[in-house]
A and B are shown apart, each in its own frame.
Chain A
Amino acid sequence: MGIQEFTYLLQGLAWTLFLTAIGFAGGIFFGLVVALMRVSPSAWLRVPAICWIGLFQGTPLLMQLFVAYFGLPLIGFDLPAWGAVSVALTAHASAFLGEIWRGAIQAVPKGQSEAAQALGLHGFSRMFDVVLPQAFKLSLPATVGFLVQLLKGTSLAAIVGFIELARAGTIVSNQIYRPLLVFGVVGAMYFAMCWPLSLWGRTLERRMAAGQAK
């Protein structure tokens, strides 16, 4: 594998990071919406959120990419490939992050909300000043864990033809016909991105467990 092929892989890697960043950023925003709908007392908000989460957790990410890729043009959105993939990844992330944060919000002791209520705080302030900051901390390990999932998940864009790291690997592998070397290198690149995140997530989790034991 020469410098040229390696550079090609690095370009793919840049796209992988780009897709991950878009999906995660979009996922944070819409995930918060999903989480808040999911814990809402109103069934009109709660039930759609439950369905949204169930839909994305109950189907393969690959199908979600395909449906977005072929479905968006049908309803009049002629997006470039990366756009369609980004939409799918964002929707995917919003469901998973929504569910993670739902769990975290409900894990904040009820007394916190009651104390805020007793102090006369209203719904919005109760949620954003008291509950969410604590929930955010609780959810951090799982959120980081999902970021790793998402980063790995972007590899599926390869199957719809988008040239990110995994697809770049397939192309290079076909050119130089050293598949084990190429996929070994590609795997190592993914590992170099994911492993530090995983370690960070585990550190957060351990620190939190230690904090709770006190």
Chain B
Amino acid sequence: MASMIEMQRIEKYYGAFHALKNINLTVAKGEKIVLCGPSGSGKSTLIRCINHLETIKSGEIVVAGHRLNDSQKAVDAVRREVGMVFQQFNLFPHKTVLENCILAPMRVRKLSRSEAEATARKYLERVRIGDQAEKYPAQLSGGQQQRVAIARALCMEPKAMLFDEPTSALDPEMVKEVLDTMVSLARDGMTMICVTHEMGFARQVADRVIFMADGQIIEENDPESFFRAPKHERTRAFLGEILAHH
């Protein structure tokens, strides 16, 4: 299987703080990874390195065949192939749902407006929000906004999707609609890396679950073994806390 994302010997610092320590991670095409761990463990930082929202001190990142370095060209190439969904949705408040979705395809992929709109409507249908296309983000619920954010990323027809705690900012009753959307995306074969504490989701779709703490990958395994027999003491403590709350 060809690899979609390859990270080797990644080191990252914030000032003196060592945020990522010797991270090695290979994600195959179509693979679904769930990243979990306590806050401050570096899981968000890790996925933000993949599309160069964070710069690394050393190491190598290759995404869909593009080697990431500081050149704008490499960064552009990677960002064209990778979509991202944020905890806070980050929809653009002054643009309608449809305008949010067509902005990047027109500017970056140079699609015509009609092509971009057709794509946007397709993906908005797909996340079951097609009838809200003319509304502004502030007029939608949190769950709807996050589904729009997913559609917006999909409109770039990315080869991989990064999810940074996509359900953490949602009211409990809206979590399911977003997770359902993500599950159906996974079923369609999208390569995904999700930072999330939704263990049900991990069980259902993940090929691998990775546990991080203190900027390191502590443990990784298929979900079945990961939940049934966590090897590491810290993993057990973490799972104990997470599952106690759910």
Whether chain A touches chain B in the assembled complex (some CB pair under 8 Å) = no
Binding site for B on A (CB under 8 A): none
